[in-house]
């Protein structure tokens, strides 16, 4: 039963996607390597390249070319970005899967009255298609991508606009993410943030100083309960 005040919208949990809900590095870096190969560059090893993720596909291509020591004009970057989107859109779930415990953690939060939303730096259409293919797309009130608004993480408005679109309340919200962009955006939005340790970040998650750190989704509901204030319903006088 929902223990929250039915007059208020109830609490909301906003999730990052890549490296938080799903292990997607294999398909993202696989696509990057296809693009690099077309440009005559050697493939980047997955364990080295996964930390290039977090700021979206355009940034991934820029970072990938920099890591390969290759130059890239702004015009070429835009062409390769379109090529990336086409290829990646056809390989969303070749090697991608949900992290262990995601479905159970979403079940638990929903049972406690939480609305769920996604705020990702993937393009919106890919985020929706990926979450649908992974079987959890319909769990979210809204799925917001990098191209949904004119701003994106680490800009705090990406998170606040997601909460607004989901009909949530900023004072009863929590962000769950794996990267510096997630922690920075949540802090700037004034929302507590749970950092996961199994995603993509060149800096250890604990060093980014989120409000809580989890190593497995089993620990999410308790971390969230400590961070999001309960709405106390005063009995009628």
Positions touching ligand PGA (CB under 6 A) are 16-19, 28, 53-56, 60, 120-122, 179
Check whether 107 is labelled as a binding-site residue.
no
**Which of ligand PGA, Mg ion, none does 160 bind, CB closer than 5 to 8 A by kind?**
none
Q: Give the strand pairing for 142-144 and 22-23.
A: unpaired
Task: Give the position of tokens 């953690």.
Answer: 105
**Which of ligand PGA, Mg ion, none does 33 bind, CB closer than 5 to 8 A by kind?**
none
Torsional class of 222: left (φ above 0), alpha (ψ -120 to 50), beta (otherwise): alpha
CB of 33 to Mg ion, least distance (A): 19
16 is catalytic: yes
Please answer whether residues 95 and 185 qualify as being in contact, where contact means their C-beta atoms are separated by less than 8 angstroms: no
Task: Report the residue number, 78 or 215, with the smaller CB distance to Mg ion.
Answer: 215
Residue whose C-beta lies closest to Mg ion: 19
* By CB under 5 A, residue 19 contacts Mg ion: yes
Q: Give the strand pairing for 12-15 and 115-119.
A: parallel
Check whether 27 is labelled as a binding-site residue.
no
Task: Report the residue number, 17 or 166, with the smaller CB distance to ligand PGA.
Answer: 17
Check whether 207 is labelled as a binding-site residue.
no
Beta-carbon contacts of 84 under 8 Å, excluding residues fewer than 6 positions away, are 31, 32, 35, 57, 60, 61
**Concatenated DSSP letters of 46-59:** HHHHGGG-SS-HHH
**Which of ligand PGA, Mg ion, none does 183 bind, CB closer than 5 to 8 A by kind?**
none
Chain contacts with Mg ion (rule: CB under 5 A): 16, 18-19, 178-179
């Amino acid at each position: 039963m929902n223990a929250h005040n039915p007059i208020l919208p109830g609490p909301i949990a906003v999730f990052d996607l890549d490296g938080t809900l799903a292990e997607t590095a294999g398909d993202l870096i696989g696509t990057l390597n296809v693009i690099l190969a077309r440009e005559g560059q050697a493939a980047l090893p997955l364990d080295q390249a996964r930390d290039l993720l977090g700021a979206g596909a355009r940034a991934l291509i820029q970072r990938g070319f920099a890591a390969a020591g290759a130059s890239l004009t702004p015009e070429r970057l835009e062409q390769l970005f379109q090529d990336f989107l086409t290829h990646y859109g056809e390989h969303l779930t070749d090697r991608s899967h949900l992290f262990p415990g995601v479905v159970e953690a979403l079940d638990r939060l929903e049972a406690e009255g939480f609305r769920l939303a996604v705020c990702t730096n993937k393009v919106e259409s890919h985020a929706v298609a990926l979450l649908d293919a992974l079987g959890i797309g319909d769990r979210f009130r809204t799925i917001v991508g990098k191209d949904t608004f004119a701003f994106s993480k680490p800009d705090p408005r990406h998170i606040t606009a997601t909460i607004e679109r989901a009909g949530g309340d900023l004072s009863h919200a929590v962000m769950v993410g794996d990267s510096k962009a997630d922690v920075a955006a949540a802090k700037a939005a004034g929302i507590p943030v749970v950092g996961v340790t199994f995603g993509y970040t060149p800096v250890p998650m604990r060093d980014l100083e989120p409000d809580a750190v989890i190593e497995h989704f089993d620990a999410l509901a308790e971390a969230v309960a400590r961070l999001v204030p309960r709405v106390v319903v005063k009995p009628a006088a």
